[in-house]
Amino acid sequence: MVAQLTLEEKVGQLVQPELAQLTAEDIREYKIGSALNGAGIWPHGRRHATVRDWVDLVDHFWTAAEQAWQGRPFRIPFMWATDAVHGHNNVHGATVFPHNIGLGAAGDPDLIRRIGTATAREVAATGMDWIFAPTVTNPRDRRWGRYYEGYGEDPALGHAYGRAMVEGLQGDAAALRTDHRVLATLKHWIADGGTADGRDRGTAYCSEQVLRDIHAQGFLAGIRAGAQSVMVSFSSWEDPANYDHTPGGGEPYNHKVHGSRYLVTDVLKDALGFDGIVISDWDAHAEVSRCSAGDAGYAINAGLDVLMVAGREAWQSVHRTTVAQVRAGVIPQERIDDAVSRVLRVKLRAGLWDKPRPAERSLTRPGAPVVIGSPEHRALAREAARKSLVLLKHTPGLLPLPRAARVLVTGSAADDLGKQCGGWTLTWQGDDLDRTDLPGGTTMADAVRAVVGPAACTVDPAPALTDPEEHDVAIVCIGEDAYAEMRGTVRPWRSIGYADLKQSYARDLELLRRLHAAGVPTVTVLFTGRPLYCTEEINLSDAFVAAWLPGPYAQGVTDVLFAAEDGAPAHDFQGRLPSSWPRTRDASAVNALPAHLPDYRVPKEETPPEGGRTPLFPLGHGLSLHDPAPPGEPLPLHVPAAAPPAPRVSGPLRVLDAEGTPYRLRVGGHNTWSREDVGLDKPMDCLIVHATPFPTPDGTALRLRFKGNPAFVYAESPSGLPADLRGYLAAGAHLRFAVRVLRQPSAPLYLACHDDFPAQPGVDLTARLRAAGAQAWTSVSVPLAELAAVGTDLRHVAVPFMLYTDGTAELEVADVSWCLP
């Protein structure tokens, strides 16, 4: 078959565009071999698209591919891929399972295998063939915003789970050819969880031994289990072994794994014998030296087989450029033939030549059994949530709670599905969920009310009028707001203390102090994607449960918190810490020494678990209902050093004016994962924002058109390092800019300045922009005191100006600065 393909047809099999940037005609013209839907991209843009909508869409593109091969002596089936990282999480009504960090706490490979099988059935029920899971990373730094995507810090756990999840998703060779299983993808190759400072897309400096013995274990087991795809990491590995495969060809190789022939070809393909598809991450080739959004030549020569390219112009450019580079001898023909052979091999192993069209498969055709969100699968998700709970503190006799108790359910996460589910839930960040997004979902408030009855349950997330003393117990539900990559990483200069991260989290701590002072028995449930310093919160609680990100079925939590009808424990706590728990606010990378590596040396990116950095609770810790109260309480608090005085300031802070800007202007947000730079010399257009610079009498302005997806436009320090700008606050400064509103925002448009921690607060500008009217230039002036009041940390400002919105808007912005009175 390979011998009968033209070069253009071969390259078409290697390009994977995104749904929003692809048409059926494109598939026919370019012989595209696969496509994907990114998080938050749905059929016809409908957030609540039905299962039939999905099936019809996939079938539409599959049919176009069939038409593309008419008249040829062979056909090549089309594949559809999706991010199903904790269930089929992009599809309305699908079962959402706990995120991987919680599954790691469960310590149950058979549970993982069953979740894989259930997920495969739900994905297959939408006519899809391929998913980008499991993530088998070993997260080593708690500041990393993707920490929860890994099963935990123990490589042995990743090894066991990597194998189990692949077996669940794919089954054996015969099962994979049925239409009840899907192709699995191990990701992200390699050491994305081992970067310095936990930086997303950062650099790992560890030895090759650490790379192999810590970070590769899930891949080794998953490949042995038959995984047919491996996705490469955005991150870099800086080591002499990671050589430049084409020296002298331009700027030096920048150590990105996507450009590493050593790691992709020499190790993964040759040494490990992996003969499936090596796929890029979203537009990640563009971050490799000598590549760009429309040129992937260097990365293809490193060994990438399929290129995930989002933008329409970008994927068409990659197609053209690759064809031209093969003809020019820059990319060897053998490299293209190897890549195409791998794609066809995987399609054959998946039985795609024998499967009927997507709309006529056993789980998609009319009358097929309903598997999306089935009671059986939701019961499995509830079981997984129950088994993942880790009891960190317990006062004997308190738990399980009697079903006749009068209960106050309070805290910021008391009635919040987003905090329970985390990122990658229907949308990319998962931070805008409501009840209609998760049919059948139950919050903690719902679940407790179902146990004790509405009359005995008071739900008040921030009790002002409720008297806690009128209740027998308070269940205080606290937790991180949902986040995913880009917006989830804690910068190196920040604390990992829960109450330090956001004002809303600090209010949870104040609530616990009030309840403790009132003498109300308190059970605290923490929803989090990573271990966080919360020692005071633990001390103030009579019981403290790490619930991780259990998903939308909070009954899995109340199953353990409350007694059975006869008063006996219904379930005991089975979860054990998959990662050690921090003793101090700055203990971001304190990991257990791996027992299976007698010569292990702690890499410089990590901190030895000794002295003051000994974990508060070690890997594998967890209490049961029958354990006595541990000695040594209250736990010792970590008192942070006092902040230095605010630096004095003497003049305005320039952001954008007549002289240009000293900052780097960028765009990020929905499906724009390799953040786009905005120049002052030419327009920039991406999926979410169109930016056009133009001159004004007083300097340079930017015309910004927000297209209706979550997007933020910002000015960032070129070094990425923050500055202490509290002096401007002390001096009563304003953040001021000129604006001309061409089209009013369709949703709130926020102004912010911060260090890029997840979803830092902003000031809604909507009323100010509406007052400005249309077409005329107006000055907007926001007191820094107003930004500080919503929780902006002015001690660490790497981004002095940001506009973000989820809606549409068009405006021109100029003369941006921090101005003294």
Indicate which residues carry an active-site annotation.
281, 485
815: region left, alpha or beta (phi > 0 left; psi from -120 to 50 alpha): left
Alpha-carbon span 120 to 136, nearest angstrom: 17
Alpha-carbon span 489 to 756, nearest angstrom: 8
Closest to 224 (Cα-Cα) out of 315, 279, 270, 160: 160
Q: What are the distances in angstroms from CA 577 to CA 380, 490, 586, 597, 620?
A: 21, 21, 19, 20, 5
Alpha-carbon span 433 to 416, nearest angstrom: 9
Alpha-carbon span 21 to 76, nearest angstrom: 22
Amino acid at 312: R
Q: Which helix (H) or strand (E) holds 749?
A: strand 749-754
Taking the C-alpha atoms of 288, 294, 300 and 302 in order, what is their torsion angle to the nearest 10 degrees?
Answer: -10
Beta bridge partners of 604: none
- The b/e string for 690-714 (b: 16+ C-beta within 10 A; e otherwise) is ebebeeeeebbbbbbbbbbbbbbbb
Q: Could you write out the three-class secondary structure of 135-155?
A: ECCCCCCCCCCCHHHCCCCCH
E-assigned strand segments in 20-146: 34-37, 79-82, 130-131
Q: Which residues contact 602 (CB under 8 A, 6 or more apart)?
A: 593, 608
Alpha-carbon span 193 to 154, nearest angstrom: 12
Beta bridge partners of 381: none
Alpha-carbon span 804 to 748, nearest angstrom: 9
Half-sphere exposure of 644 (CA within 13 A, CB side): 7
Alpha-carbon span 86 to 257, nearest angstrom: 25
Structural contact between residues 517 and 406, judged by C-beta atoms closer than 8 angstroms: no
Angle, vertex CA 661, rays to CA 658 and CA 662, nearest 5: 135
3-state helix, strand, coil in the chain (%, to 5): 30, 20, 45
Q: What are the distances in angstroms from CA 493 to CA 377, 504, 780?
A: 42, 20, 31
For residue 307, with 0-12 CB atoms within 10 Å meaning exposed, 13-18 middle and 19 or more buried, which class applies? Answer: buried
Taking the C-alpha atoms of 803, 805, 811 and 815 in order, what is their torsion angle to the nearest 10 degrees?
Answer: -10
Closest to 101 (Cα-Cα) out of 153, 143, 141: 153
